[in-house]
Amino acid sequence: MARTEISTLGEFGLISKLTKDIKPTQPSTKYTVGDDCAVMDFGSKKVLMTTDLLLEGIHFNLEYVPLKHLGYKAAVVNFSDIYAMNGTPTQITVSLGISRRFSVEDIEALYSGIRLACEHYNVDIVGGDTSASMTGLTISITCLGVAAAKDIVYRNGAKLNDLICVSGNLGTAYMGLQLLERERQVAQSDDKTQLAFEGKEYLLQRQLKPEARKDIIEALRKAGVKPTAMMDISDGLSSELMHICSQSKVGCCIYEDKLPIDFQAAALAEEMNLNIVTCALNGGEDYELLFTCSLDDYEKLIPIEDLYIIGHITKPEYGLNLIGRNGEEITLKAQGWQAFNGQ
């Protein structure tokens, strides 16, 4: 039997191959694989469900990630998926694979971070599972949320001339990771060296303790704006734009000078000889919201704090393009996190 390496398909190609022929049989199943959440119909409210798997050595390094921060982040990234569907997270289950090197106190620290996130976002922990592990620490969280049918936003609704918007700033979490990796290597080479974190606390926070953009969802609702398409930025702006454009069957044009970039991130990128625009496009783990809105909503969007209009939707034949500061046109490519390529 022929052998196909998973890396030839990539994460999303593998998911597509495994699920393309699955046909829902339950009347309550309204939307399955292909968006930030599955959608189920149980009456007046629609139920949203998402799940996330974090593996030690792949998604986190415990040499510099505190267990409490890890627990907080593991919960928040699931809440972000629910908000990306314009829903409200309500419950989670937590399943852990634990190797023998972890103590009860270690797992309590991890769980304290999960509980803190749940308290902050008003989400209940309703169950889970634990198992012994031969490969370190594994965290699997499933999150449920709710939304009225009329409020749910998918990835496939972007229309020609829609505005493209993002919250927060981009590439900052990636630069936080680069900082942690650099200082880890310095510490290994000379344990007497003072770690250079001073003045870069925001970068660390963005990597170690991200927040889901509940505030942006609330601001949009208050302004009477419903996005036409939306998702959160976990794998990088370019990758997420490709998902929206592919599923909406459109193209896009974004502008380099409109990308929101934090000063600390830009300064560190220059220090490390990295291109901050490339980091902003492909870094990942920002957990900001990327969404499209009707041009008619422009005046409603302008007053919303920490929200930026970075481009517009075009015809599909125009492709996906970045307009540089000098007017040059650059084709966007997804170069962010690829789960099966070791990146």
Same-domain check for residues 138 and 194:
no
Note whether residue 182 is domain-resident. yes
Query: Of 88, 117, 151, which residue is a domain's last?
Result: 151
Q: Give the CATH number, domain containing residue 138.
A: 3.30.1330.10
Query: Is residue 327 assigned to a domain?
Result: yes
In a domain, 9, yes or no: no
Q: Is the pLDDT of residue 194 over 60?
A: no
Which is nearest to 245 in space by CA: 285, 292, 278, 213? 292
Asked whether residue 121 falls in the same domain as residue 188, the answer is no
For residues 178 and 324, membership in a common domain is answered with: yes
CATH number, position 320: 3.90.650.10
Of 153, 165, 169, whose CA–CA distance to 301 is shortest? 165
Neighbour tally for 222: CB within 10 Å:
10
Domain shared by 167 and 218, yes or no? yes
Of the listed ranges 110-119, 123-132, 295-304, the least confidently predicted one is 123-132
Place of tokens 């770690």: 195
Q: In Å, what is the CA distance from 118 to each residue of 38, 62, 152, 337?
A: 21, 22, 22, 27
* Same domain? 261 vs 137: no
Domain end among 90, 121, 151: 151
Between these two residues, 73 and 132, which has the higher pLDDT value?
Answer: 73
Q: Please report whether residue 76 resides in a domain.
A: yes
pLDDT of residue 337: 47
Determine contact, residues 336/284, Cβ cutoff 8 Å: yes
Residue 21 has pLDDT above 80, yes or no: no
Q: What is the pLDDT of residues 298-317, one digit of tens each?
A: 999 999 999 999 999 999 99
Quote the number of domains for the chain. Answer: 2
Q: How many helices (H) and strands (E) does the chain have?
A: 10, 13
68 in the same domain as 48: yes
**Residue 236 domain-assigned (yes or no):** yes
Domain boundary among 100, 126, 151: 151
Regarding whether 127 and 189 lie in a shared domain, the answer is no
pLDDT value at residue 31:
64
Does residue 13 belong to any structural domain of this protein?
no
In this prediction, residue 147 carries a pLDDT of 92
75 and 222 assigned to the same domain: no
Average pLDDT of every residue of the chain = 88
In a domain, 84, yes or no: yes
* 227/309 same-domain check: yes
> Mean pLDDT throughout 30-53?
75
Residue 61 located in a structural domain: yes
At 171, list the tokens.
Answer: 């590439």
Three-state DSSP state, 232? strand
- For residues 173 and 320, membership in a common domain is answered with yes
Q: Which residues pair with 46 in a beta bridge?
A: 41, 147
Do 96 and 30 reside in the same domain of the chain? yes
CA distances from 256 to 16, 226, 303 (A): 32, 25, 22
- In this predicted structure, what is the pLDDT of residue 293? 98
Q: Which is more confidently placed, 241 or 36?
A: 241
Full residue range of the structural domain in which residue 185 is found: 163-331
Residues 127, 189 within the same domain: no
* Model confidence pLDDT, tens digit, residues 82-112: 999 999 998 888 898 988 898 888 999 998 9
